[in-house]
Amino acid sequence: MPKLEGIKKVLVIGSGPIVIGQAAEFDYAGTQACRSLKEEGMEVVLINSNPATIMTDREIADKVYIEPLTIQVVKEIIKKEKPDSILPNMGGQAGLNLGMELSESGFLDSVGVKLLGTSAETIRNAEGREEFKDLMERIGEPVADSLLVEDVDTGAQFASSIGYPVVLRPAYTLGGSGGGIAHDEEELRTILSNGLRLSRVGQVLVERCIAGWKEIEYEVMRDSLGNCITICNMENLDPVGVHTGDSIVVAPSQTLTDKEYQMLRTSALKIIDELGVIGGCNVQFALNPNSFEYIVIEVNPRVSRSSALASKATGYPIAKVSAKIALGYHLDEIPNAVTGKTYASFEPSLDYCVVKIPRLPFDKFIHAKRTLTTQMKATGEVMSICTNFEGGLMKALRSLEQHVDSLDTKEFSSHTDNEVRDELHKVNDRRIFAIAEALRRDISMNEIHDITSIDIWFISKIKNIISIEKSLKEAGEKLDADLLREAKRIEFPDTYISKLTGLSEESIKNLRYEHNITAAFKMVDTCAAEFASETPYYYSCFDGLNEAKGESEKKKILVLGSGPIRIGQGIEFDYCSVHSVWAFKNKGYETIIINNNPETVSTDFDIADKLYFEPLTPEDVENIVRLEKPVGAVVQFGGQTAIKLTESLMKMGVKILGTRAEDVDAAEDRELFDKILEECSIPRPKGHTVYTTDEALKTANMLGYPVLIRPSYVLGGQGMQIAISDDDIREFMGVINRYHQDHPILIDKYLMGKEVEVDAVCDGKDILIPGIMEHVERAGIHSGDSISVYPAMSISEDIQKVIVDYTARLARALHVVGLINIQFIVFENEVYVIEVNPRSSRTVPYISKVTGLPIVDLATYAILGESIRDMGYEPGLYKKSDYIAIKKPVFSFEKLRGAEISLGPEMKSTGECLGISKSFNEALYKAFEGAGIDIPKYKKMIISVKDADKLEAVGIAKRFKKLGFDIFATKNTARVLNEHGVLAIPINRINEEAPTLMDLLLEHKIDLVIDTPTHGDKLKDGFLIRRTAIETGVTCLTSLDTADALLTSLENEDDSIMSIVNLGDI
């Protein structure tokens, strides 16, 4: 059947800022869906508050609204744009919830807008706990027994009726705090009473415990005629108990017989058919490893993180097909874009093994609890493809970029055998390494299985890796071709073989080439080679014949992707990579992309001319370079991941396009950079490079505290800290030196001024600055965590001129061709440079969108030799927009138990949203709204500030008082406030007698906590207060500047209708 009648204009809802659990996958899905709709001639209107996305590009949708994802805003857009239908299932849970609310309130009906795809009723049946349970019971599909209780006795009664252990999940506590597994009634009573107290609604779910079962997922698809297919199934290496987003996952399932596979497949299809899902859907199962018993864990009637993974694992474009199905097409009418010959109504067959490993943020939050639970903590993930599982695991490990190229991290090497056994009991991101160490110690596979419940099949594969490790160690310099071939078959990198054998990497490489042990590239074609395919989507292996053809008529450009999403390196870099690919394509080049992140647009098979899904290490990249022989590579768009490969690429003889490597180095190398600054007569805060703690102490004392301390060559301020004492220096040097540092450590005088940032395009001669951005928070808070305002509001014309001038001087001195990002501090009317990055930055998508300047494209053309004037632009600062755009960072602290939330020089935010308006106040209000900061409910707040902030806090408190807030404060803060005539109620510290601050928070009547941390107060009151606030869903600000901005937003809150801004009108 052809598509539905009368659909001409579709509103697509995006997923908003990136948070843990809702990340880049929705940019991928949304972008694919929009392109798919446009292919059908639809006019597409898009709303998403996240400016870092590709979907919010003017090329992707006809109308783009970067506005807060609220009911009010979506209603306004519908009224203005008058779409005939709305597609809500591409924007994750956020998008789906909005669509539901619009539909259920009757609004959509009242304006005659159709909900495309899965119906509201279906969504309710799938998402509502009770509705879902009822439906499953009706169709005879098993779910875990559970009961929502409000008191301990009912819980205990229910638990004994279903049998221990039971899982306790408090309702409405973020991050799963207060929950846990109870093995007996005593444990239940303790956990349950605590959970009831922590829950905002005083409810806890008591559920049968199925921890240790196999966790299996099916990605399924259904069209409006009821045709159902499975795209892919996936098996979690980590048994039930760890969120699938935090698990190591393989596709397809490895340990299921056909009977089990088909049993679950049939169940999944029955469920979506019964629900009446239209489009893609994810069904999660727990399977008893010792019987055919299974339980349906969850159904997600929308595209999801798992569906992005399944799309990349199979080559089947789930979002694209879902969008077509939403328009009314049937599966057998939609061509399979991969083969070009078959149709979407078939099930992909894989002839390789896919491994996904989550990227967890514990390197950023060293104090956060590493335990993995049913609350997802990963910020991103990597995927690898290989002909065997061992190889897939090895490739994925090195794709993580966590200083690991194997299963040997040495972290357990000095443990006793029993300590290693203890590590096996800990369910965390280190467990896979602990298993490897246990196998190294000859702890039996059965014992490891008994402790971890991980299937023996996986353990046996890890054991294969360990035995090759041993063989290589034994062989040493006598390494022969057979062993080397076997080691490469399971993807041991040369670096690791070198470490094990003592041979140099160079001689291993030579031995490999001598025996033709080289990587071959195989195609991902959805059909296990059954049909000829055109898609140039490849992975490497060492035990097969090469299929990728290196010859081409066109000149080839290699674009390096940015790897897994992590704090400090998010989708902004994917945005840049994709845009540069498009720009090169425009100019007639053949583009090749290498990346390993399944959540991104860049790894969609129709972005570049060729896609290699591979780790981004020198060896893996070299394999591709040997085949493809590109005329050059661009590294400036792929974040630090790509920059790090510069030197290796040059050694391979690949020309680095744009800014030269020496100049990139000059920006990072302290001495070279100081020289350049001196030549340009640009001041910077005083500082020095050091290698040892002693040197660091000497430098710090010479400069005078406070000082800024950080490793060089990092992104996102990794490891950066403000030190105010010798003790701090010692602690921070210790933390930085946990990993071997190839580069020196920088120590600078810390100036607490206004921070300003620019991105610029340079053609080698002239520069073009799209705009100057100003940070709301004072210097010292990472730029990625600061609220950023474009155009700069409080910087005088003169200072702006200085900034433009400095930018031009620096770009020229560094011979920048392409992009440059510079951060300045304006301190006592003097402009200082604090950081220069001759590459793309986090703010590139943001500034591109609000100024309308396609700066990645311009940078790419500059790299190809065009001048700014040729491109039709006047060098210098681009004209100021009539609109003000305010970027607000968004954090995921509630997901990371034990993480310190106070802001500092190390970046902690996971995403951002934008507020755009002609008025500053409205833009600010939109930014807070978009970040989900919804304040006045009880009009009660807590203020606790460090001594240095106390006087400044008076003004802030006064303004809150004026807005009608009751203020509670710690004793000293209260005293200062009261002394200055602001009524504040003093409250006891946690260890004093009740009621204390903690009790106040747990009454769930506080809207806001302002707590500026005293340095090093972890484990003290401040830390506990901040954590408790976050875990009970209370907004907590740790900078007075942020509080000031929030006040401005609240003071100007106006219930009248907000303006909405179509990006195209800017």
* Residues engaged in binding other proteins (CB under 8 A): 1, 225-230, 252-259, 261-262, 265-266, 269, 289-291, 330-332, 341-343, 345-353, 387-389, 445, 455-457, 460, 464, 467-468, 471, 482-483, 485-486, 489, 516, 520, 522, 527-532, 543-545, 547
- Contact assessment for residue 319 and residue 34, using Cβ atoms and an 8 Å cutoff: no
CB of 516 vs other proteins, minimal distance in Å: 5
Write out the two tokens for 656. Answer: 């680095």
Write out the two tokens for 313. Answer: 């694992």
Q: Which amino acid is at 507?
A: S
Question: Backbone phi, then psi, for 297, in 5-degree steps?
Answer: -85, -45
Distance CA 327, CA 3 (A): 5
Half-sphere exposure of 358 (CA within 13 A, CB side): 29
In 121-203, beta strands by DSSP E? 146-149, 166-170, 180-182
868 burial (CB, 10 Å; 0-12 / 13-18 / 19+) is buried
Q: Which amino acid is at 674?
A: D
- Of the pair 339, 409, the CB lying nearest other proteins is at 339
CB of 124 vs other proteins, minimal distance in Å: 26
Distance CA 712, CA 42 (A): 49
CB of 488 vs other proteins, minimal distance in Å: 12
CB of 538 vs other proteins, minimal distance in Å: 12
CB of 325 vs other proteins, minimal distance in Å: 13
Distance CA 109, CA 964 (A): 39
- Of the pair 170, 348, the CB lying nearest other proteins is at 348
- Of the pair 350, 941, the CB lying nearest other proteins is at 350
CB of 548 vs other proteins, minimal distance in Å: 13
Write out the two tokens for 840. Answer: 């793309």
Distances (CA, A) of 792 to 754, 760, 854: 11, 15, 20
- Of the pair 213, 582, the CB lying nearest other proteins is at 213
Q: Name which of 943, 962, 925 is nearest 1007 in CA terms.
A: 943
CB of 349 vs other proteins, minimal distance in Å: 4
Question: Backbone phi, then psi, for 381, in 5-degree steps?
Answer: -160, 160
CB of 445 vs other proteins, minimal distance in Å: 8
Distance CA 633, CA 654 (A): 7
- Of the pair 546, 1048, the CB lying nearest other proteins is at 546
Examine residue 685 and say whether the peptide bond preceding it is cis (omega within 30 degrees of 0): no
Q: What is the DSSP code (8-state) at residue 737?
A: T
- Of the pair 255, 1048, the CB lying nearest other proteins is at 255
What is the CB neighbour count within 10 angstroms for residue 130?
9
- Of the pair 613, 790, the CB lying nearest other proteins is at 613
- Of the pair 343, 691, the CB lying nearest other proteins is at 343
Q: Name which of 86, 40, 31 is nearest 59 in CA terms.
A: 31
- Of the pair 332, 726, the CB lying nearest other proteins is at 332
CB of 162 vs other proteins, minimal distance in Å: 23
Write out the two tokens for 67. Answer: 């506005």
- Of the pair 445, 760, the CB lying nearest other proteins is at 445
Q: Which helix (H) or strand (E) holds 936?
A: none
Q: Name which of 382, 328, 321, 388 is nearest 353 in CA terms.
A: 388
Distance CA 1006, CA 967 (A): 10
- Of the pair 132, 389, the CB lying nearest other proteins is at 389
Distance CA 567, CA 327 (A): 37
- Of the pair 26, 539, the CB lying nearest other proteins is at 539
- Contact assessment for residue 800 and residue 792, using Cβ atoms and an 8 Å cutoff: yes
- Contact assessment for residue 328 and residue 224, using Cβ atoms and an 8 Å cutoff: yes
Distance CA 126, CA 149 (A): 22
- Of the pair 332, 665, the CB lying nearest other proteins is at 332
Question: CB-based contacts of 917: which residues, under 8 Å, 6+ apart?
Answer: 883, 884, 923, 926, 1058, 1059, 1061
Residue 759 DSSP SS3: strand
Distance CA 700, CA 953 (A): 30
Q: Which amino acid is at 488?
A: K
Task: Give the torsion sign (CA, 575, 578, 581, 582).
Answer: negative
- Of the pair 291, 414, the CB lying nearest other proteins is at 291
CB of 339 vs other proteins, minimal distance in Å: 9
Question: Backbone phi, then psi, for 239, in 5-degree steps?
Answer: -65, 175
Residue listed under structure tokens 């640009």: 682
- Of the pair 392, 638, the CB lying nearest other proteins is at 392
- Of the pair 265, 579, the CB lying nearest other proteins is at 265
Q: Name which of 214, 328, 368, 397 is nearest 901 in CA terms.
A: 368
CB of 283 vs other proteins, minimal distance in Å: 15
CB of 215 vs other proteins, minimal distance in Å: 16
CB of 533 vs other proteins, minimal distance in Å: 11
CB of 317 vs other proteins, minimal distance in Å: 17
Q: Which amino acid is at 598?
A: P
CB of 443 vs other proteins, minimal distance in Å: 16
Q: End-to-end alpha-carbon separation of the chain, Å? A: 41
CB of 332 vs other proteins, minimal distance in Å: 5
- Of the pair 628, 912, the CB lying nearest other proteins is at 628
CB of 290 vs other proteins, minimal distance in Å: 5
- Of the pair 102, 508, the CB lying nearest other proteins is at 508
Distance CA 412, CA 415 (A): 5
CB of 485 vs other proteins, minimal distance in Å: 7
Question: CB-based contacts of 420: which residues, under 8 Å, 6+ apart?
Answer: 412, 434, 437, 438, 441, 443
